Amino acid sequence: MANRYYVYEHVVIPQDVTLQGIAYDARFLDWACTARERMLVDNMAEEETQPPAFLTGEVGIRYMIPVFLHDRLEVRVGVADYTQKTGRVRLIFRFVKKGHIQSLAEGFQNLYCYDRNEGERIALPATFVEMAERYRDAFS
């Protein structure tokens, strides 16, 4: 069976780490956001991904094991839940070393679909709902 999560691969580079070679905490958020954007581009119609269609309402990351310079990571993205009508979605992230299963960190992000011309939240596009179903309950 195929993975029910989206995978973004990243190699930790010098700008990601401290003088001791340990990844900065904030870089995990950068990697999560990059993974989210790649997932949207790979799974949605281009006209539905134009900024600022999705806005972050809340984000959180729990760190468990340090990540070091040159580590090869997978950022795995799943959909915990969504509400199509209100345009709300909760993404979940797991950070693992490539080829391993142990989580290095875990996180979440609550997103809202937003119409910048009208200045209000809108329903999730149909292609987003299709993608959400593909990656729903990824880590259950």
pTM confidence score? 0.90
Q: How many helices (H) and strands (E) does the chain have?
A: 2, 6
Residue 9: φ, ψ to 5°: -100, 140
Model pLDDT, residue 139? 80
Residue 1 in any domain: the answer is no
- One digit per residue, pLDDT tens: the chain, 140 residues? 356 899 999 999 999 999 999 999 999 999 999 999 999 999 987 777 676 688 999 999 999 999 999 999 999 999 999 999 999 999 999 999 998 989 999 999 999 999 888 889 999 988 899 999 999 987 87
**Distance between the two ends of the chain, CA-based, in angstroms?**
15
Model pLDDT, residue 51? 63
Structural domain containing residue 25: 6-134
Residue 118 in any domain: the answer is yes
> How many domains does the chain divide into?
1
83: number of Cβ within 10 Å: 11
| CATH for 105 | 3.10.129.10
